[in-house]
Amino acid sequence: MNMKPFSRSERVSGTIQKVLSDLLRKGVSDPRLENATITGVKMGSDLKTAYVYYSTYLGEKESDVTAEGFKSAKGYVKRHLAGKLGLRYMPELKFIYDTSFDYGMKIEKLLKSVTPENETDHSTTEE
């Protein structure tokens, strides 16, 4: 039995993520998008919708500004993607703020807060 290693939706979402990441690095001049990173893309089962997850290094407080930047650049982004994807129908792009990095930072802060700073060394040393 010859199985495909990736489904079509996985290939399309991977291509969208790569193209958008490159576009953010090189081609979009909107300052609202300069701190954005594409963290993942999930395709709807019919390939008509692409859910594009993004984060910013300044966290959620900047997510609304970045969302406005994506909304403003959506037409340009779709035209650029259409040339790279070669699909019959260009998927609708839905930009969603990815909270997983914020959650990870919160957990890291909590872990650091419960680790005693003046922890004594309990290792045994031979004298």
Within a domain: residue 67? yes
What's the CATH number where 14 sits?
A: 3.30.300.20
Sort 70 into a burial class: Cβ within 10 Å, 0-12 / 13-18 / 19+. buried
Q: In which band, very low, low, confident or very high, does the pLDDT at 126 lie, cut at 50, 70 and 90? A: low
Residue 96 confidence (pLDDT): 92
Of the two residues 112 and 40, the one the predictor is more confident about is 40
* Parent domain of 64: 8-103
Q: Which three-class secondary structure state does DSSP give residue 86?
A: coil
User: Taking the alpha carbons of 107, 110, 114, 119 in that order, is the dihedral positive or negative?
Assistant: positive
Q: In which band, very low, low, confident or very high, does the pLDDT at 46 lie, cut at 50, 70 and 90? A: confident
Residue 4 confidence (pLDDT): 56
Within a domain: residue 58? yes
Q: Which three-class secondary structure state does DSSP give residue 67?
A: helix
CA geometry: angle 72, 98, 15, nearest 5 deg: 70
| Residue whose tokens read 């792009």 | 93
pLDDT tens sequence across 57-90:
877 777 889 999 999 999 999 988 988 888 888 9
pLDDT tens sequence across 23-43:
998 877 889 998 899 999 999
CB burial readout 24-46, b (16+ within 10 A) else e: beeebeeebbebbbbbbbbbeee
- Alpha-carbon span 50 to 13, nearest angstrom: 7
Neighbours of 100 (CB within 10 A): 11
Residue 5 confidence (pLDDT): 62
Within a domain: residue 121? no
Of the two residues 21 and 60, the one the predictor is more confident about is 21
Domain count, the chain: 1
Q: In which band, very low, low, confident or very high, does the pLDDT at 116 lie, cut at 50, 70 and 90? A: low
